[in-house]
């Protein structure tokens, strides 16, 4: 018997120990490595990477993590060198708890580390290194930006089709980045008929880089073809020095380059010169590059991201931060699809397989930079955005080439696909799109009608465009009645573009979410698009995402924020040609919060509960009076509940206040009837029992309400 009791005690002790041990094991954190340069002259790249990654991971952790586990981000400094990257990659794989690696920043460091990651079978997700060599060396490598070959092919095709470039010279670095770009520039130029007049090489690893640049600039100045476009295939700092040197020698040639020209290092170097500050464009005019992202073409979630980024870091996000925010998003989405309770090696293997499941536009991740999916090499290839340096920043060029909705890619179609309207890259077609820059200001919001699901708005909308764009063909998608759309002003600008200003006044349908009533916030949206039969080649872009002047004419609401953004693409099938066309939409969003005194909504419920609670302590002889009062309180609660129900059609938390009050009233009625019956039968103990039950049951219901 004694042994049995001891055994039983041991089992009782072990059961909770095993349970809590298993629970703690299943709640162990998930580790994510971020490898980049966090020291030295290039540490800003690593810092921007980490900001983007951490912002997304913090968001996921605040939502409960992945399968109940928090994700811990661990930075590793590769010092921006190949030796440093190789050593750090060994440290990462030896940790035995890192599930994946985000990074490295440079192509050279990514190549140096790739061997260790493939050998030890740890997935790496990259959003900055563009060398074509990396996926060849590492089958566990995934990249969410297009590689050098694709960027060069796209930019060269754009130069021919959109800018009419016929001749070019190339300046490239002799490292893997520059040599790769040079190779692909020349290959695509030969295919589409651009003559390469001369190729110049620099060695950025040497100390005499300035003299190298001066010699090349003089050589270009002596060419007999002064109009030749200059393709630059060097890193950001050297690219800025080249552009400044070229412009100082009074060369006005078009300058084009890869994604290094889109970096903050390049733009900051250009802007640091006093000549550029005093006369914007003196150095930066006619400089083009490509990017997979631009904030003026992004949607609502991008605005939310930028607001959150600014609140946390006090600055606007760089393209590096944006790309690695998306890289973290990809990691998390792949992680959600697998069992994270497995061993680390199994998680890594399953994570790789999960990433491979994102392989098409229909099987993808919707990130800030668009749809993210991978080809068989782990690469991401999509339409690129061409930007032009202007006013100290890159702005979108009017002409863009976006993924075509055509299904067929016949040989004859591909052969003719190097003209103004159509280009083909890697057997994919891209059709020309004319951007229309939209600005909204002087907004007035009033008459917010919940029951009718409408609101009234008036505002000014401006359009800046090239080509045959007709703003009169705008359609307001959520208009509740015909909208007043009145032209106020048109003008032709110096840069071969035109502007038109319109006044808009109308009532618009809106969806309201009243689950948090009366503490609710609402989004008021105005959406418009081009007419389906006339606007297929025009796509909207935000001139600015801010609304500077806004009036909310309502004492019942307070303004939270207002912005504009590009909406989702809409498909339209032409009944004549049966061809699918894609249409751009544009949104104005105004967020408001109800101005309300919450105590006025709770006063009745609080008063009823206080009266009922005090009623528990009234003399037993007066219980019949308390019962009558309780029935009266039931009528009062029903009256105010009916008024609320007529005002708000949806269930909100106030609804639960009324329901809980009903519960307390009904329990109080039953309790008072029990007290009266016990009193009539002269059972004082039973009376005391009912009184105590009434007190504690009311306290219990109130506690449950606040817990919920």
Most confidently modeled range among 58-62, 192-196, 277-281, 534-538: 58-62
Rounded to 10 degrees, what is the CA torsion of 146, 149, 155, 161?
-120
pLDDT band, very low/low/confident/very high, at 588 (cuts 50, 70, 90): very high
The pLDDT of residue 412 is 52
For residue 684, with 0-12 CB atoms within 10 Å meaning exposed, 13-18 middle and 19 or more buried, which class applies? exposed
CA 199 to CA 173: how far, in whole Å? 11
Pick 28-146+300-372's CATH classification: 1.10.3720.10, 3.90.660.10, 3.40.50.2300, 1.10.1740.10: 3.40.50.2300
The pLDDT of residue 312 is 95
**In terms of pLDDT, which residue wins out, 147 or 700?**
147
248's enclosing H/E stretch is helix 236-248
The rounded mean pLDDT for the chain is: 86
First-to-last CA distance in the chain?
47
CATH number of 148-291: 3.40.50.2300
Pick 598-707's CATH classification: 3.30.1490, 3.40.630, 1.20.58, 1.10.3470: 1.20.58
Cβ atoms of residues 655 and 705 within 8 Å: no
The pLDDT of residue 536 is 57
Which pTM does this prediction carry? 0.79
Least confident of 118-132, 389-403, 441-455: 389-403
The owner of tokens 């297009």 is 146
The owner of tokens 């697998």 is 338
- Where exactly does CATH 3.40.50.2300 map onto the chain? 28-146+300-372, 148-291
Q: Is the pLDDT of residue 688 over 60?
A: yes
Q: Three-state SS for 134?
A: helix
Q: Which residues pair with 538 in a beta bridge?
A: 434
- Where exactly does CATH 1.20.58 map onto the chain? 598-707
For residue 690, with 0-12 CB atoms within 10 Å meaning exposed, 13-18 middle and 19 or more buried, which class applies? buried
400-414+426-594, CATH topology level: Acetylcholine Binding Protein; Chain: A, (2.70.170)
- Where exactly does CATH 2.70.170.10 map onto the chain? 400-414+426-594
CA 13 to CA 11: how far, in whole Å? 5
Mean pLDDT of 442-470: 93
> What ranges in 27-106 are assigned the alpha helix state H?
43-62, 82-95
Q: Is the pLDDT of residue 570 over 80?
A: no
The pLDDT of residue 96 is 87
Q: Is the pLDDT of residue 596 over 80?
A: no
CA proximity to 106, closest of 130, 124, 123: 130
Q: Is the pLDDT of residue 223 over 70?
A: yes
Beta strands in 450-556 (DSSP E): 454-465, 474-476, 484-492, 498-509, 521-530, 538-542, 550-552
The pLDDT of residue 460 is 97
CA 139 to CA 379: how far, in whole Å? 11
CA proximity to 257, closest of 275, 238, 270, 279: 238
Task: Report CA-CA distances (Å) from 302 to 88, 96, 325, 546, 549.
Answer: 33, 35, 11, 13, 22
Least confident of 224-228, 324-328, 586-590: 224-228
CA proximity to 67, closest of 123, 21, 33, 26: 26
Cα-to-chain-centroid distance, residue 549: 26
Least confident of 13-22, 116-125, 687-696: 13-22
Structure tokens at 232: 């630059």
The pLDDT of residue 365 is 96
Contacts of residue 282, Cβ cutoff 8 Å, sequence gap at least 6: 247, 275, 276
pLDDT band, very low/low/confident/very high, at 179 (cuts 50, 70, 90): confident
pLDDT tens digit sequence for 346-387:
999 999 999 999 999 889 999 999 899 999 999 998 888 999
Rounded to 10 degrees, what is the CA torsion of 375, 379, 385, 391?
170
The pLDDT of residue 229 is 94
pLDDT band, very low/low/confident/very high, at 649 (cuts 50, 70, 90): low
**In terms of pLDDT, which residue wins out, 7 or 30?**
30
Please tell me the number of Cα atoms within 13 Å of 574 on its side-chain side: 15
Q: Is the pLDDT of residue 513 over 90?
A: no
């Amino acid at each position: 018997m004694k042994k049995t009791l001891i055994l039983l005690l041991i089992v009782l002790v072990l059961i909770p120990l095993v349970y809590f041990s298993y629970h703690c094991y299943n709640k162990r954190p998930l580790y994510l490595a971020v490898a980049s340069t966090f020291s030295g002259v290039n540490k800003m790249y690593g810092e921007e990477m980490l900001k983007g990654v951490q912002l997304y991971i913090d968001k996921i952790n605040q939502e409960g993590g992945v399968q109940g586990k928090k994700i811990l981000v661990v930075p590793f400094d590769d010092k921006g060198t190949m030796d440093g990257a190789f050593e750090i990659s060994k440290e990462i794989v030896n940790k035995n708890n890192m599930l994946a690696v985000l990074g490295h920043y440079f192509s050279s460091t990514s190549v140096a580390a790739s061997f260790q990651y493939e050998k030890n079978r740890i997935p790496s997700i990259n959003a900055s290194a563009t060398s074509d060599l990396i996926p060849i060396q590492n089958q566990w490598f995934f990249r969410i930006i297009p590689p050098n070959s694709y960027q060069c092919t796209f930019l060269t095709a754009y130069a021919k089709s959109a800018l009419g470039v016929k001749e070019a010279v190339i300046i490239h670095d002799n490292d893997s980045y520059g040599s790769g770009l040079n190779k692909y520039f020349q290959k695509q130029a030969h295919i589409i008929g651009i003559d390469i007049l001369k190729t110049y090489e620099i060695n950025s690893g040497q100390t005499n880089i300035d003299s190298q640049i001066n010699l090349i600039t003089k050589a270009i100045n002596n060419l007999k073809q002064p109009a030749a476009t200059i393709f630059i295939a060097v890193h950001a700092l050297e690219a800025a020095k080249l552009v400044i040197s070229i412009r100082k020698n009074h060369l006005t040639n078009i300058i084009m380059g890869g994604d290094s020209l889109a970096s903050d290092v390049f733009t900051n170097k250009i802007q640091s010169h006093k000549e550029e500050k005093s006369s914007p464009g003196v150095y930066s005019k006619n400089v083009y590059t490509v990017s997979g992202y631009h904030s003026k073409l992004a949607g609502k979630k991008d605005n939310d991201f930028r607001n959150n980024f600014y609140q946390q870091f006090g600055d606007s996000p760089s393209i590096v931060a944006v790309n690695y925010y998306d890289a973290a998003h990809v990691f998390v989405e792949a992680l959600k699809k697998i069992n994270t309770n497995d061993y680390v090696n199994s998680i890594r293997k399953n994570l790789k397989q999960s990433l491979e499941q994102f392989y098409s536009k229909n099987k993808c991740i919707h990130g800030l930079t668009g749809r993210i999916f991978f080809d068989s090499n782990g690469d991401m290839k999509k339409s690129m955005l061409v930007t032009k340096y202007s006013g100290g920043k890159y702005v979108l060029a009017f002409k863009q080439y976006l993924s075509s909705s055509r299904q067929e890619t016949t040989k004859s179609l591909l052969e003719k696909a190097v003209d103004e309207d159509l280009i083909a890259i890697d057997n994919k077609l891209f059709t020309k799109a004319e951007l229309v820059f939209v600005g909204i200001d002087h907004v007035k919001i009033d008459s917010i009608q919940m029951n009718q699901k409408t609101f009234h708005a008036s505002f000014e909308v401006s359009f800046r465009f090239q080509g045959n764009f007709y703003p009169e063909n705008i359609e307001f998608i959520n208009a509740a009645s015909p909208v007043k759309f009145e032209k106020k002003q048109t003008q032709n600008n110096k840069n071969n573009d035109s502007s038109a200003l319109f006044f808009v006044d109308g009532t618009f349908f809106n969806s309201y979410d009243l689950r948090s009533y009366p503490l609710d916030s609402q989004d008021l949206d105005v959406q418009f698009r081009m007419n389906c039969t006339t606007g297929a080649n025009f796509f909207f872009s935000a001139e600015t995402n801010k609304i500077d002047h806004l009036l909310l004419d309502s004492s019942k609401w307070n303004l939270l924020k207002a912005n504009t953004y590009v909406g989702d693409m809409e498909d339209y099938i032409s009944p004549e040609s049966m061809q699918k066309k894609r249409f751009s939409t544009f949104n104005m969003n105004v967020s408001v919060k109800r101005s309300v005194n919450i105590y006025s909504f709770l006063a009745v419920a609080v008063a009823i509960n206080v009266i009922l609670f005090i009623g528990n302590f009234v003399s037993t002889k007066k219980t019949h009076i308390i019962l009558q009062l309780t029935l009266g309180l039931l009528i009062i609660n029903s009256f105010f509940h009916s008024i609320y129900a007529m005002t708000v059609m949806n269930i909100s938390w106030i609804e639960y206040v009324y329901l809980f009050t009903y519960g307390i009233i009904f329990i109080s009625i039953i309790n008072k009837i029990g007290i009266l019956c016990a009193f009539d039968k002269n059972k004082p103990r039973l009376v005391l029992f009912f009184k105590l039950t009434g007190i504690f049951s009311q306290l219990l219901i109130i506690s449950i309400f606040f817990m919920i």
